[in-house]
């Protein structure tokens, strides 16, 4: 009986210890071992999510996308590798995408209902939690640069439309004639959307917006997130909005917490998708909050938000993100998302469809 009591005692003590240990293991298993600082950096970008299917894509167009995604990610990577800041890296990376007609941002911006191009952008610094955003600018070549100027050169976070243009002029930001944003492809998209809208008497199908490249009209935004060698995170997003946009609609791209969020304590995130749902779900910040308060990893948080919470609301799209340890997430619930990443070892990843 004495022996049995001892055995039971030992078992009890052992099981109590085991329980504690397994909890610790679970908590730790979400953390990858930290690399030495010199290689602990990385960058990830997206060029929009949507119904991007291999069968709708020509080989030459696919090659053009891949080339531009590669050029963009390498631009930011080069800055990080030399010890540059994550803010510089994401700004210059986004500039490459903004200057390409392939993406719905900058040069490739879609047209509004009245044939204008209205651009939005936002940026956030994970070190200071400072942020900048602009909505509805029409003559700013690279809206992400203006968002950064709002963050660094004003006490404000967000400027809209003509006010934002005025600030851009005062700050010496590069301006262009609005005709710079004219592309034949985007004009065709607008005409097609308006023709379809006229036919659509049943307004139950309210998605009267369309982007021929990604087979959807609510999508197509560019964004980038990076971790630099100094341990600082940053994220930025830039968009041309929705084809056939009306009423000065503002999507999630210029909304801090929805389209962009960065915090050195957690992660840096840029969103792309059906903007209204990203605003309602506060998607970018939600991933950070789940990490901070729920002790989840970036990967778990991104998956839960994009694959569970967002579809439950009826929304779709994706995010790219990087955490303070260099872990990267590229999560989307659409058929595809233009995306690329490079880690501290210089490994390049390029993806378009669900299975690469």
H/E stretch holding 275? helix 275-280
Q: Which of 75, 93, 138, 221 is catalytic?
A: 221
Between 13 and 63, CB nearer to a second copy: 13
Closest CA relative to residue 260, chosen from 240, 284, 279, 238? 284
How buried is residue 192: exposed, middle or buried, by Cβ count under 10 Å (0-12/13-18/19+)? middle
Stretch 115-154: interaction string toward a second copy, x if CB under 8 A? ---------x----xxx-x-xx-----------------x
Instruction: Single out the residue of 127, 192, 249, 303 in contact with a second copy (rule: CB under 8 A).
Output: 249
User: Residue 45 Cβ, how far from a second copy at the closest point, in Å?
Assistant: 23
Is position 221 annotated as part of the catalytic site?
Answer: yes
Kindly tell me which of 48 and 251 has the beta carbon lying closer to a second copy: 251
Q: State how beta strands 130-137 and 158-160 pair.
A: parallel
Paired with 115 in beta bridges are: none
Q: Give the interface segment with a second copy, choosing from 5-13, 33-41, 86-94, 344-352 (CB under 8 A).
A: 5-13
Is there a contact between 295 and 1 (Cβ–Cβ < 8 Å)?
Answer: no
How many angstroms separate the CA atoms of 113 and 278, rounded? 22
The answer to whether residue 261 forms part of the interface with a second copy (CB under 8 A) is yes
Count, residues near a second copy per rule CB under 8 A: 56
Q: CA-CA distance, 119 to 99, in Å (whole number)? A: 13
Binding a second copy by CB under 8 A: which of 91, 276, 323, 331?
276
Cα–Cα distances in Å, from 51 out to 55, 98, 106, 317? 11, 21, 22, 10
CB of 286 to a second copy, least distance (A): 7
Of 28-36, 45-53, 186-194, 240-248, which part binds a second copy (CB under 8 A)?
Answer: 240-248
Q: Which is nearer to a second copy, 143 or 344 (CB)?
A: 143
Find the shortest distance in angstroms from Cβ 329 to a second copy: 17
Phi, psi of 350 (to 5 degrees): -125, 130
Cα 173 from Cα 98, distance rounded (Å): 15
Kindly tell me which of 9 and 348 has the beta carbon lying closer to a second copy.
Answer: 9
Query: Using CB under 8 A, which residues numbered 40 to 99 contact a second copy?
Result: none
Q: Report, in Å, the least distance between residue 143 CB and a second copy.
A: 14
Cβ–Cβ < 8 Å for 124, 130: yes
- Point out which residues pair with 289 in neighbouring strands: none
CB nearer a second copy, residue 15 or residue 185: 15
Decide: 206 and 196 in contact? Cβ < 8 Å. Answer: no
Interaction pattern, residues 152-181, with a second copy; x per rule: CB under 8 A? --xxxxxxxxxxx-xx--------------
Show contacts with a second copy in window 189-218 (CB under 8 A): 206-207
CA 300 to chain centre: 17
Rule CB under 8 A: which of 305-344 touch a second copy? Answer: 313
Residue 95: exposed, middle, or buried by beta-carbon count in 10 A (0-12, 13-18, 19+)? Answer: buried
Among 69, 87, 234, 255, the residue binding a second copy under the rule CB under 8 A is 255
Which residue in the set 222, 233, 282, 342 belongs to the binding site for a second copy (CB under 8 A)?
A: 282
84/76 Cα distance (integer angstroms): 9
Farthest-apart Cα atoms in the chain, separation = 93
- Closer residue to a second copy (CB): 96 or 289: 289
What would the two tokens of residue 169 be?
Answer: 């002029």
The distance of Cα 80 from the centroid of its chain, to the nearest Å, equals 19
Active site residues: 221
Which residues contact a second copy by CB under 8 A?
Answer: 1-2, 5-6, 8-9, 12-13, 16, 124, 129-131, 133, 135-136, 154-164, 166-167, 206-207, 246-251, 255-258, 261, 275-276, 279-282, 285-286, 289-290, 292-294, 313
């Amino acid at each position: 009986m004495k022996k049995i009591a001892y055995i039971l005692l030992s078992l009890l003590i052992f099981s109590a210890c085991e329980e504690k240990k397994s909890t610790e293991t679970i908590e730790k298993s979400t953390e990858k071992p930290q690399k030495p600082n010199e290689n602990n950096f990385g960058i990830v970008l997206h060029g929009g999510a949507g119904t991007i299917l291999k069968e709708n894509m020509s080989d030459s167009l696919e090659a053009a996308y891949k080339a531009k995604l590669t050029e963009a990610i390498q631009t930011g990577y080069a800055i990080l590798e030399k010890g540059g800041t994550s803010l510089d890296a994401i700004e210059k990376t986004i500039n490459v995408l903004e200057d390409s007609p392939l993406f719905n941002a900058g040069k490739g911006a879609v047209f509004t209902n009245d044939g204008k191009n209205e651009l939005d952008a936002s940026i956030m610094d994970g070190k200071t939690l400072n942020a900048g955003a602009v909505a509805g600018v029409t003559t700013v070549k690279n809206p992400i640069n203006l968002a950064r100027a709002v963050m660094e050169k004003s006490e404000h976070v967000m400027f809209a439309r003509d006010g934002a243009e005025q600030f851009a002029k005062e700050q010496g930001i590069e301006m262009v004639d609005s005709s710079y944003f004219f592309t034949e492809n985007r004009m065709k998209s607008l005409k097609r959307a308006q023709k379809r809208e006229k036919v659509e008497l049943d307004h139950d199908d309210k998605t009267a917006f369309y982007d021929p490249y990604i087979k959807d009209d609510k999508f197509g935004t560019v964004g980038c997130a990076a971790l630099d060698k100094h341990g600082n995170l940053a994220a930025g997003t830039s968009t041309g909005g929705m084809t056939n946009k009306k009423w000065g609609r503002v999507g999630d791209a210029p909304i801090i917490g929805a389209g962009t969020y960065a915090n050195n304590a957690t992660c840096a995130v840029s969103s792309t998708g059906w903007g209204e749902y990203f605003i309602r779900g506060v998607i970018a910040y939600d991933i950070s909050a789940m990490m901070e308060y729920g002790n989840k990893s970036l990967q778990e948080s991104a998956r839960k938000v994009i694959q569970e919470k967002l579809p439950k609301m009826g929304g779709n799209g994706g995010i790219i993100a990087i955490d303070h340890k260099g872990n990267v997430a590229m999560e989307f619930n659409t058929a595809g998302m233009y995306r690329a990443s490079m880690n501290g070892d210089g490994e390049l990843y390029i993806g378009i469809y669900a299975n690469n």
